[in-house]
Amino acid sequence: MSTTINLPADKFDTSMTFVTPDNPPSRVPLDKLAVLPGFNTRVKDAEYQERVVGISESIVANGFFNDKPFAVTMLPDDETVYIYDGEHRFDAAKQAILDGAEFPDGLPVAWAKDGATVRDLTIHLAHGNAGERLNMVELAAVVRRMQGLGMEKPEIAEALGRTTRHIDNLFVLAESNQTVKKAVAAGQIAGAEAVKLVRKHGSKDAATEITARIKKAAEQGKAKATPKTQKPAGPKMRTVTIEHVFKKGEKMGDSLKSLAGSIRELIQISGADVLEEDGTAAIRLTLVDHAAEAAKAEAEKAKAEAAKAKEAEKAKKAKEAEAKKAEAAKKREAEKKLLAEAAKGDGKKATPKKATPAKKAAKPAAKKAADKAASGGKADEAAQKPAEGDSEAQATQVAETPENAPSAPESGAEQTDDGMGGL
């Protein structure tokens, strides 16, 4: 059990009231500052000293941060400025001066309200250590002080933002003896576990039990006593596997002799066939149904093959779908090309062309036939026969082409209608 732990004071004068001077200074010389005696509930152990050293080194290197002022107040008829929050930094500042740091303008302070009470400062203490939270022992001292101020359990729970059950545990720890508190403060046992033992055995017997548990944990190389470290270690055991095959038709005695021979190889015996040490053999038989195992293996094989075939079929379908997709894309591209060529061909047909020689030949022949009809000759015959040297197709083409047809004054039908008799 550590003997270097300084626990919080059990009692503190709760009737004290505090004052603030007129025009309070924002900075105070270090030699005018002091810690409010017995007020801080910090456990001063090795970890506390380590934190002080770390802060001191920072102050020497970077100076004292103005955004981290000491929370201070004063007592009536007392010129000392008392620190009620910031003891870590105060101890570190004193160490920094020893290491060469200087504070010519003093150190930053933040004043409590005029007429502040112990209750006000205590609630601040519980909440003002957010940077380094109070451990369970430190918080138990705060709860005990609040109780001394006349605060009820629900009021304390609300002020600290804790459950009433947690406050109950803190009360139990606060009333425990120094041995229990030091063990919890040193991290040798969890606060909740210590409280459980105090509730079960009482403070004195719990201290004895905790001491024994810490010793047992240390024997196992553990720094903290936990429920796990308290379990019996039990004998060291080793597990071996002996495979023995029972053969169909074999006598049981012979089979057991064979099994015994395998066990003998694992046990230390003398030349006189005498056991050399005490021991216990725990034999576990696993009887294998080979027919069932074979059927199981076959079923698993079939299942694997089916899964493989299913995967292959899936891959095949995916490949076929991809091929169809590619073929469709190729077909669309071909159709697109054909449409483009067709559009290009339509543009060529729309361009006007010169008359062919056949059309030129057919035009005089048609005019000649029309002249004969106008003069009273064989108009019907001339109209029915194609011109000499022209094919039937050419004659038909001439008759259907608007540009080769006679104009309105040359038409025989128009001449008959106007009664001129073809003259």
Percent of the chain beyond pLDDT 90? 17
How confident is the model over 186-198, as pLDDT tens digits? 888 888 888 989 9
Most confident region among 4-8, 63-67, 261-265 by mean pLDDT? 63-67
Mean pLDDT of 172-194: 87
How confident is the model over 274-287, as pLDDT tens digits? 776 666 777 777 77
pLDDT at 11: 67
How confident is the model over 360-410, as pLDDT tens digits? 555 555 555 555 555 554 444 444 444 444 444 444 444 444 444 444 444
- DSSP-derived secondary structure for 300-356: HHHHHHHHHHHHHHHHHHHHHHHHHHHHHHHHHHHHHHHHHHHHHHHHHHTS--PPP
What is d(CA 167, CA 233) in angstroms, rounded to the nearest whole number?
Answer: 36
- Virtual torsion, Cα 41, 182, 54, 69, nearest 10 deg: 0
| Closest to 412 in 3D by CA, of 376, 358, 384 | 376
What is d(CA 207, CA 143) in angstroms, rounded to the nearest whole number?
Answer: 21
Residue 187 one-letter amino acid: G
Domain boundaries, the chain: 27-175, 235-287, 289-351, 357-415
Question: What is the band of 313 on the pLDDT scale with cuts at 50, 70, 90?
Answer: very high
Taking 80 as the threshold, does the pLDDT of residue 301 lie above it?
A: yes
Assign 361 to helix, strand or coil.
helix
What is d(CA 258, CA 265) in angstroms, rounded to the nearest whole number?
Answer: 11
pLDDT at 386: 47
How confident is the model over 32-80, as pLDDT tens digits? 999 988 887 777 777 778 778 888 888 888 889 888 899 999 998 889 9
Looking at the domain 27-175, which fold is it?
3.90.1530
What is d(CA 83, CA 70) in angstroms, rounded to the nearest whole number?
Answer: 6
Backbone angles phi, psi at 72, to 5 degrees: -130, 165
